[in-house]
Amino acid sequence: MGSEFDRIWNNNALQVDPSMLGKMQELESVAAKLPKNEGASLRAEIQDIYSKMTPGADGNLQIAGESANKFQQYLRRRAEGSAGLKNELSDLRQTIISAFNRSVSEADRAALTTNRAQYKAFKTVEPLLRSAELGVAGRSAGDVPAALLPNAVNKSYGNLTNAPLADLSQIGSRFLVDRTPQTGGSARAAIQNTAIGAALMGTGGLPAVVGAIPVGIAAEKALQNAALANRLVNPSTVPPSALAEALKRSLPLTAPVISVQ
């Protein structure tokens, strides 16, 4: 995509029109109101653009496409690193880009529109790709959670109605399975906490809680059995008798713990 942008800029000269000149004059007025150092810096950039204007074959002012491209790239980098002039430099850069958009030949206009749309789509998912490279939260590198795409699309395009990635993001969030490996930790914690929590919320007082603790510990021991834990993560495959039998076998092992406490 970068190569295509360069090709289009190099093949087209920026035509200096009244709209561009008017915007630059507005920025010169802004520069006059800024603190001395910042104002001088903004005026220097504007004068630099004026110095690149030369008469074209038709006598109208223009800027070579390659020069205009390098200048708008420079302004982008400078705006990103400038706290004081970020908005003004961004406006100056947009002035160049807008003038170039009006200058592009008919043959390259469609190519420029397509390339910009593809680039924006790439920049929309790029943060997700960078996160996936880290392989966080138990994911293998490159595994991007589909549920994160709608928020990224909404942030980039403003809404999910007409965005190019709208259909893909909705399909991903609704139908693609989250492939994060299941460890059984959530299921294990739920069983233990439910047994003890239910006793706390009931009317049995401390004896009920003490009575519930062995159940929680028994569940922990039962779930150390990998096969049983795996079945619990997939409840449709676990026979009710399997869990009951495992808990029955594990319960006597918790008695010494309660006695000591």
- Above 80 in pLDDT, residue 21? yes
Confidence of residue 259 (pLDDT cuts 50, 70, 90): very low
**pLDDT confidence of residue 257:** 42
Question: Residue 196's pLDDT is what?
Answer: 46
Report the pLDDT value the prediction gives residue 88, as an integer from 0 to 100: 96
Residue 209: pLDDT band with limits 50, 70, 90:
very low
Which residues lie below 8 Å from residue 213, measured CB to CB, with a gap of 6+? Answer: 196, 254, 257, 258
Mean pLDDT of 107-133: 86
Residue, of 165 and 250, whose pLDDT is higher: 165
pLDDT at residue 254 in the model: 44
Average confidence (pLDDT) over 21-29:
97
Q: Which of 164, 87, 84, 82 is nearest to 123 (CA)?
A: 164
Average pLDDT over residues 8-15: 96
For the cut 60, the answer to whether the pLDDT of residue 191 exceeds it is no
Secondary structure (DSSP) of 66-104 = HHHHHHHHHHHHHHHT-SSSHHHHHHHHHHHHHHHHHHS
Domain coordinates in residue numbering, the chain:
2-104, 123-175, 185-260
pLDDT given at position 156? 86
